[in-house]
Structure 1
Amino acid sequence: MVESIATSSLLGHLPVYGGSSCKNVLSERKAINIYKFPFREFSFRKFVSSSSKMRLGENYKLVKCQAMELTKEAYAYREEVQIPQDFRYHIDTGIDRKPGLWPPPNKADNLGIHNPLLRQERMGCGWLAAIFEWEGVLIEDNPDIEKQAWLALSEEEGKSPPPAFILRRIEGMKIEQAISEVLCWSRDPIQLERMASRKEELYQALQGGVYGFRSGSQEFLNILMHYKIPMALVSTRPRKTLETAIDAIGIEEVFNVVVTAEDVYRGKPDPEMFVYAAQLLQYIPERCIVFGNSNQTVEAAHDARMKCVAVPSKHPMYELGAADSVIKRLDELSVVDLKNLADREFAEFRARGLELEMEPEEEDDLHATVDVDDSSW
């Protein structure tokens, strides 16, 4: 290192002393003096040389070439940038030389937003929305009332009462969808509408029009309103019934979007309700968090590429393990927890558009012949 610095510092100047070594045919190292100063002496604090100019010849050219090579080697890691005289130059941050790092991959990014601050805020994990179910999540729900309404409707229509596993299967579905696809009572649209209306009347009569918040639900809604997080309410109940219930408990201005049975064609486990709510909120599904109380909700939310928080009101906690988070009360969550949940990207969420390639099965030879020995018969 010392030799390289000393040699490279002599560019354009006369060297003081230098030497080199080489090997002969017998591989013996021999020192060769390339250049030396002639005789000099000090006289009255002055440096006096016997010759005014050195005559090195080819040796000086050799040393100069070596010094240039050492200089290139020493500064090979450094990129020299010349600034133009007009000062209209671009500052190189080194990001362009590393493809794939900028802009960072983010599904919330919107190139149509020309304001960089709004675009940066949108790409942050604080840009999220909450989608709530009604019964069993925000208000208290009695599963026995739903069961009694279905049994009363089956008795009126002269149908066999649905068993318990069928009632669990139609949980969260639209009434018309449950009657036509699961119970198979009728497929006539007029009859479906009539039976659905009658079933809702039976439910409301048994329920009595009394609504109450679940523990921690109202406090959680107030927290989300304080931080200006948009909220949507989805339910398979008719809009008139849902609006009456919202007015009864005094949360008319809480939800930005309300999706009811009239807005969708199918209920859970189809993700249509949640996808439509996200479209009305103008949020991408990956930044929407669904709050439900059943495995049908978890399945529908994940099919819609949304996160799901389960509240065990009807089912025990161990049955809701497929959810992203399981809590007893909504106020157990904080805004930081929601941001961390919205910032997570799962493998199934990144696999959009991925189609599994099935290996072609080997076709059996249908024309294969089998020789049978008739002598054994």
Structure 2
Amino acid sequence: MKMKWIALAALLATQAHAQSSVTLYGVMDVGFVSGSGDVANWKGLASGRNMSSRLGFRGAEDLGGGMKASFVLETDIAADTGTGVTTPFAGWSSTDNKSASANGSLQFNRVSTIGLSGHWGSVTAGRNYTPTFLLDFAYDPFGENGAGASLLTMTSAYFNTAGSVNHLRASNLITYTTPAHSSGLSAMVAIAPSETVSTAAKEGGVTSIKLGYAKGPLMADIASAQTKLASSGDIKTTSIGAAYDFGAIKPMFEYSRDELGAAGANAVKKGYLAGAIAPLGSGQARFSYSKVDRTADNATAGQVTQMAVGYVHNLSKRTALYGTYSHVSNTNYRNTPNAGYSVGSAVSSINGKVKAYDLGIRTTF
């Protein structure tokens, strides 16, 4: 009888170690957008103007000894139409990190990872955010969404015809993240192999690293990345950001530089963002000013600036109303051969201006 009780206790201990959980989560966000450009105006509803609308599943299993297995599957949702969103910008959501995909279907192309974690840190494999984008996101008061989204990130979508995967997500990515340390220091390394045959040029491979510090009110990060592109030359990104939380206000700053290295078509895009967030009433006020310059061997230099202000009013822990206003001014800046940087579907000329605002509601679950 004693042996039976021992065996039962061992079985229960094993089951306790193997506890697992799966969580369904998401965001629904719909806003009214109005944009006025010197070429074209646009008004309508759009998804994800404060936070990207999404549906996700995440799970974890306790393997014992401090080790866990985990997975994440997350898909974009166009909440205003109920459809999926495959590619928000050219090249950013491609399966090979170098070509665009079709819009409209429901795919788990936001995040699709599986991994292990323990006292040594964590390792994940699959489609994930790049370390350079995580820096962009951390130092943009508007969280890379809506009319106020950072110029540093959004202009990168048109830096090359394939876009700039350094500034969002990469497929086939293996990511190692160090464990939390009392010193506040952290590191992240991500590598995606070029999945091409040995007789072809290396394409789509990504290497990226981020070093960070976060302790008390101060946080700072530096990151770099490179995406292999044989036809146009590799895209290289270097970014640095810092923020300090004074309580009444949290100012933040980022500087970022993109380089494209094709012979006869070398290009450089560099810029900075200075912004702040501050608690106000039951919500949060946001502000940013950013400027981007671009030079290239085969194009005239250009510049674009953006000023954005906004407010998020919390109705509860999960639901909020929001409003954002943005003003963009182009000085020979070209996102395409004939158009400057624009907000949404409102189009500006290479020397024109575009004004836009968002009014919407967002809830998380």
Q: TM-score range by the shorter chain?
A: under 0.3
TM-score normalised to structure 2 length: 0.18
Greater helix proportion:
1
Greater strand proportion:
2
